Amino acid sequence: MSQFAREHLLPLGTLDDEEPDGTWYSMIAVRGDLYSVEPNRGMVVKVTTGGSISIVTDVNAHYGHIVPIQIH
């Protein structure tokens, strides 16, 4: 997930403390896939058992930088 996080950095200057590897949080399993939140980037992502990672939603794009921390 570190590579994925580095490929999806926030726009330059958005945060002074952005962790390049992401700060993955609150992972759950749904129908064999894993879903996790990256709060600094405001992303909810899906990770398949094959290792594919995709953005489910970009919370920041919809609501501004609100730092989502939980998924359920």
pLDDT band at 72 (very low <50, low <70, confident <90, very high): confident
Statement: the pTM of the whole predicted model exceeds 0.95: no
Whether 14 shows a pLDDT value over 70: the answer reads no
Residue 36 to residue 42: CA distance in whole angstroms: 11
- Please choose, from the candidates 8, 6, 2, 3, the residue with its C-alpha nearest in 3D space to the C-alpha of residue 55: 8
Q: Which residue has the higher pLDDT, 50 or 21?
A: 50
Mean pLDDT for the stretch of residues 53-64: 86
